[in-house]
Structure 1
Amino acid sequence: MESTSDDGVRGRLEATFWERHANPWSAGTRILVYPVFMYAIYRRDAKLFAATLAFIAVNPVLFPRPKRTDNYLSKIVLAEREWLDAGNGTMGLDYPNILNVLNIPVTFYAFASAIRRKPVGTLLGTLGVMVLKLWWTDAIVKETGVTGERPGETLPVEESSLDE
């Protein structure tokens, strides 16, 4: 019985995480925070580094649940949830997970460049990380067919908030 209670709490926490993270402000700022993170490393700015890490940690639950999910940023989050729920994982030699595997050395290159204060390497590495991540998210949107408009893809809406 105890695990059922834990599963219920865990399930509610996961649902809250994904529902709030599907807010386009959450997904959009999560994408844009990576260059700020790399800039903090490059500049050796401890306050910016700490603030960026804190933002990354709270970002998925910082924004409220979206009213609509039929936008690209919400779709990539819904697709990621569906992809993971189907047991596909994020790393592997199959497409599109190979893109995340390729992202590992690009991420190391970006970090090494930022630590060594190599501006061109930092910029190229950061752009490479972002391109590969967005390519992966775009691929899983296509693979899952998530539109954010069909039942089961959108977040459950309370009856009192329906605008009909």
Structure 2
Amino acid sequence: MEITDAVAKTFRMDDEAWRRHANPWSVWTRFAAIPLMLLAIWSRTWIGWWCLAPIAAVVVWLFLNPSAFPPVEPRSWAARGIYGERIWTHDKSSVPPDHRQVLRVLVVLGLTGFGLITRGLMALDLWPTLFGATVVIMAQLWRIDRFGWLWQLAEEQATDVRGDRSSC
């Protein structure tokens, strides 16, 4: 079992859950959770062990988020990206090689950003924390954009197979 399969299973990602997770509110509130989590962890200097309460609140929100919003069709940029991610998690062979290569680079960027965040939070150093968060967010936005392309490609191929393409 791959990590993506384990994550999808943990979050109970069936078809309905993917449609709900594609809601732009779901996507953007997950991004909003990043600075909230950083602040919750940083708060250990102000409130000590009580920082576990806001950390737990963010974790619970991230767990509930994929099912917290109504399902949507892939019309918005964010929704198309999540629908593309769903394609990728179900069949990685459907991803063109150039996309796979970029996705690998984005994983490395995301891990690098996460490492900077970790270092910054451990040392209570603002700049590595903020720079790492910026790298993570930018890599994630680029990843969603790539998945949106993947969804469009899959839709074009499905339209070609059905033969109901109205214009070329």
Q: TM-score range by the shorter chain?
A: 0.7 to 0.9
Secondary structure of 1:39's partner?
helix
Distance in 2, matches of 1:135 and 1:13, equals: 22
Report matched runs for 1:65-84 at 5 Å.
65-66=71-72, 68-84=73-89
Q: Could you tell me whether the CA contact under 8 Å between 2:81 and 2:147 is conserved in 1?
A: yes
In the alignment, which residue of structure 2 is the partner of 1:103? 110
Q: Could you tell me whether the CA contact under 8 Å between 1:96 and 1:140 is conserved in 2?
A: no
Report matched runs for 1:83-162 at 5 Å.
83-87=88-92, 94-145=101-152
Aligned pairs, number: 139
Coordinate RMSD, CA, aligned: 3.0
Report matched runs for 1:19-30 at 5 Å.
19-30=19-30
TM-score with structure 1 setting the length:
0.72
Name stretches of at least 5 consecutive residues in structure 2 with no aligned partner: 1-8, 45-50, 159-168
**1:46 has 2:40 as partner:** no
CA displacement at 1:48 relative to structure 2: 1.2
CA displacement at 1:89 relative to structure 2: 9.9
Distance in 1, matches of 2:75 and 2:35, equals: 26
Secondary structure of 1:63's partner?
coil
Distance in 2, matches of 1:129 and 1:33, equals: 13
Q: Could you tell me whether the CA contact under 8 Å between 2:80 and 2:147 is conserved in 1?
A: no
Amino acid at match of 1:102: L
Secondary structure of 1:96's partner?
helix
TM-score with structure 2 setting the length:
0.71
Identity %: 25
Q: Could you tell me whether the CA contact under 8 Å between 2:77 and 2:148 is conserved in 1?
A: no
Name stretches of at least 5 consecutive residues in structure 1 with no aligned partner: 1-9, 153-164
Would you tell me which structure has more helix in proportion to its own residues?
2
CA displacement at 1:80 relative to structure 2: 0.7
Distance in 2, matches of 1:64 and 1:120, equals: 37
In the alignment, which residue of structure 2 is the partner of 1:56? 62
Amino acid at match of 2:21: H
Amino acid at match of 1:25: W
